[in-house]
Amino acid sequence: MKRIRIVVRNDKPQADEIARDLIAMLTERSVEAAYDLADPEAIVAIGGDGTVLAAASAALDLDIPLCGVNVGRVGYLAEYEASEIGDLANAIAHDSYTVRRHSTVSVRSGDVYALAINDIVVEKVVSQRIIEVAVQVNGSDLASYRTDGIIVASSLGSTAYSLSAGGPVVDPSLDALILTPIAPHSLLTRPIVLAPDAVVTLRVLVDRPARINVDGRELCVLPSGQDITIERGPSMVGFLSLGRHPFPEAVRDQFGLGDAG
């Protein structure tokens, strides 16, 4: 690769410093690297998961891979630490990496459509009032939840909002959809792992305001009774990997589990 766009979290001085160092390392290796570079071959996002998600949206539009360098707190989408940017620069310059591809999640409701890397959330708008959501999978009724909301996550997004709502940690190499209710008033409180080709249809039954969030950003407020269709997206997002952090190690480090044995 010879053209790399750098995306930085602006409110982190350390991120700017890492970006400058990485640009210098890539330049020394005859790789053009800059902010807002036109027609890049890959994107490097320096910051936290929010920065990586923003970069991933651009990478999807350009049909190119990306990678994340973690700054500060634990990042689940950023594979590299600041101490590894020299190795990352070498890998980019010599094409000595692999590209891990992960499914996205799409949502459609009326005329609204969007793709998510992590998750689609249908949730209440008024904090004091729960909503009732009917769930179908592949056209068959599953359950109706009286709940704060429903999360449908990719395996890559299983460690994001879904995890905090009680969802499972899923190996990102496993292609699946994870359906997790948020604080449900229901006998069926457990998350459900669905096949990757499952089609999930949600409908808010009670005439109370609800909205769709895509990767933590509000997409729209829903009209009453309108179906929401969620399924695997048509595009995949690719991450540059050096293969240094296998799934068990990543889980151990991210959750502070200590050494096994």
Q: Which residues are catalytic?
A: 49
Q: What's the rounded Cα separation, in Å, for the pair 68 and 48?
A: 8
Q: What's the rounded Cα separation, in Å, for the pair 238 and 42?
A: 10
Q: What's the rounded Cα separation, in Å, for the pair 113 and 254?
A: 33
